[in-house]
Each structure stands twice: as C-alpha cells, then as structure tokens.
Amino acid sequence: MSHKKIKVLVIDDSALVRQILVEILRGAPDIEVVGTANDPFMARERIKETNPDVLTLDVEMPRMDGLTFLQNLMRLRPMPVVMISSLTERGADTTFKALELGAIDFVSKPKVDVAGTLAEFSEEILAKIRAAAGARVVGRSSPLTPAIVPKHSADAILAPAGVTAGAGPRRMLRTTDRIIAIGSSTGGTEAIREVLMGLPADCPAIVIAQHIPEAFSLPFTKRMDGLAAMSVVEPVDGQQIKTGHVYIAPGGKHLLVERDGARYLCRINDGPPVNRHRPSVDVLFRSVAQNVGPNAVGVILTGMGDDGARGLKEMRDAGAPTIAQDETTSVVWGMPGAAVKMGGVGDVLPLARVAEAIMRLSESVGAPAAVAMK
C-alpha cells in the first residue's frame, strides 16, 4: 500500500468502549490500531512503545484524569488527540477545557446503549481521526480529510438569491446595523473563544454557526458568555438581533438571519442537514448574504470539509467584506482553504488578527449609513 497508515492508540477505562473503538478503527483500510490503554499511566508506556500518530482519550479516567494527562502530554510530547467525551454537563465542561489544552476535536460518548450509538457514529469517529492526523499540532501541510459527498446544499433550506425574487439579488439599503457572521468546525470552539475575547462589549451583533453536537451547544454558549465582553446567547426563533450580543446556533438546528423592516431577527430551522451539518455555515452565510448584504462581515475559521465556502462567496458577491483564518493558525484548513479557492475571501489572516479586522471592516461597512443618518 502506497499510503502510510494512521497509527492510533485508544485510551479509555471502559473495556467495552475500547473494544468498540478498536473494531471501528480496524474496519478502516487507512488506520492501524497500535494499542490500547485503560489509564494514563499505561498510556505513557504505550506511547513510548508504539509512537502513535493520533490518540483517542477518554476525559474521565481513574488514577489520573484525562485533563492532567493531556496537559502533561501537550507539554512533553504534543500530538493530535481526539477526546471521547460523555454527554453530561460536566463532560461538556471537561471537553472544552481539553480543547483549550490542545485536543483537536471530540466525539460524544452516549450515556445509554454505548455499543449501538458508538457504532452509529463510526463515520464521525473515522473522519475526526483522519482530520486529527493531518492537523496543525503535528505540523503537516495538508489534512487527511475524507471525501464525503454532501447530501444537501443550502438550497434545501433557502433558495439562492434571484430564484424567488426574479432577476439577480435585490439591492440592499445600507443601515447603521451591521452583522458579523462567523462559521467554523474542527478547532472552531477555541478559535471562536480567541476572536470573541478580542472584541469589545459594544461590537456589532455576531451570529455564529459552529459544528457541535446538540448536547454541547448550550454549555459552549454559557462558557463563551462567561469569557467574552459581549453577551453570548443561544437564540430562540424570532429573537431580535442586537448590538453587543452574540447568537450561537443551537446544536442540531440551522440559524438564519431574517430582515424585518429595520430590524434583524434570528430564525431557527430544523430542516435537513446541509453538507451533512446542522447547523450549517452555508445556510447562515446565505441568509446573511440575502438579508444583510453589504452591511455584513463574513468570517470563516478553522474546520474540516468545505461547509461555508459557497455561502461566504455569496456574501462577498453581495458586497460584504470577508475574512478567512490562515493555514498556519488553523487546526484544519479545510473550510477556510475551500473558501479561498472559491474566491469568496477578501482577507486571509492569522487568528490573532481576526478580531481587529472584524472591528475595522465593520466600521467601514457602516460608515456611509452613519454619515447619512446624522
């Protein structure tokens, strides 16, 4: 075989979970399970013996918890880690701490019917391990992103501009209200945290689509609310969008922006997954392109796949300035890379410069309206 297999070490205190993970991984032709460990002490020995490319790590384990182990690992021997996390509030909190410490991504472990549900998520587990193998922590230039044919485009939720309204996109009046739309996936929870912490309390309203399991979206929102100067909420359908607020799409639902006279509203939609995701970044960006137009700023951050690339191009075509996170600071440069390739990006910037660019660009898009209104 010409391609080197991805060597994976499975660390979990549950013999059943270890067995299921090993079965899933052994079924993939490009992955080799090089060992298992039931606690971090055994894991240390196995890492020395097997030199794995990726670890799967349970967050809650005996003798030494997963976070302490992860912290030591990232200090002494950084390598890609995919967390296997429980669907509890405590599990969610631990998972976000693990992502802060340098874990690439996580797969949620169900509370009931572990065998049935983990097998169901085998595609997700394999995709995340492949992405982790090519992620930034090991300094490779290209992620091993699996080719997955999307089931639906954003058309399934919202018709393209011009389809319902006749010829071409409608002219968008400039208003003083700007909206910043952000989309991300793998590595995105950390990237979003960094961007939000760099923005002032009176920043224009922000709408976010982050690929995240349903059980984790509210804990993530609460965590961001505790860290950011802005107020961060998980919106309900029809909620008005206001300056100084961040609206994070609920897990398992699409978030759209709708214009209602001079106001903007959040619309929550439980239509089919788009690009296999719900929330989908393409859906959010398309709604912003159609309803906010040049009064918006589009931002695409780190993530696997290409969800959001088409939507960002639609935003740029509608007159909105757009930003993509650069390859060097992205955990996986799938989504931003696809957006750049598609011609939807105005500025490609390192993560540390995204917040400043958002403020600069949002001031420039709002300037004509501010002058006209006074």
Q: What is the token pair recorded at 169?
A: 């996109």
User: Nearest Cα to 69, choosing from 51, 47, 91, 89?
Assistant: 47
Active-site residue, 330 included:
no
The catalytically annotated residue of 277, 307, 326, 330 is 307
User: Nearest Cα to 289, choosing from 325, 263, 317?
Assistant: 317
The catalytically annotated residue of 85, 185, 287, 330 is 185
Which residues does 245 contact at the CB level (< 8 Å), separation at least 6? 205, 206, 230, 231, 232, 233
In single-letter form, the type of residue at position 276 comes to R
* Cα-trace Rg, the chain: 21
How many other CB atoms sit within 10 Å of the CB of residue 359?
Answer: 16
Which residues does 60 contact at the CB level (< 8 Å), separation at least 6? 13, 66, 86, 91, 94
How many other CB atoms sit within 10 Å of the CB of residue 321?
Answer: 21
Burial of 110 (0-12, 13-18, 19+ CB in 10 A): middle
* Geometric angle at alpha carbon 189, from 31 and 281, rounded to 5°: 85
User: Nearest Cα to 282, choosing from 255, 260, 302, 304?
Assistant: 255
The answer to whether residues 82 and 129 touch, using CB atoms and an 8 Å cutoff, is yes
Active-site residue, 231 included:
no
DSSP state of 279: S
The catalytically annotated residue of 12, 58, 211, 330 is 211
User: How far is the C-alpha of 255 from the C-alpha of 205, rounded, in Å?
Assistant: 14
User: How far is the C-alpha of 211 from the C-alpha of 184, rounded, in Å?
Assistant: 7
What kind and span of H or E run contains 127?
helix 122-133
Q: What is the token pair recorded at 33?
A: 């399970």
Three-state DSSP state, 177: coil
Active-site residue, 307 included:
yes
Q: List active site positions.
A: 185, 211, 307
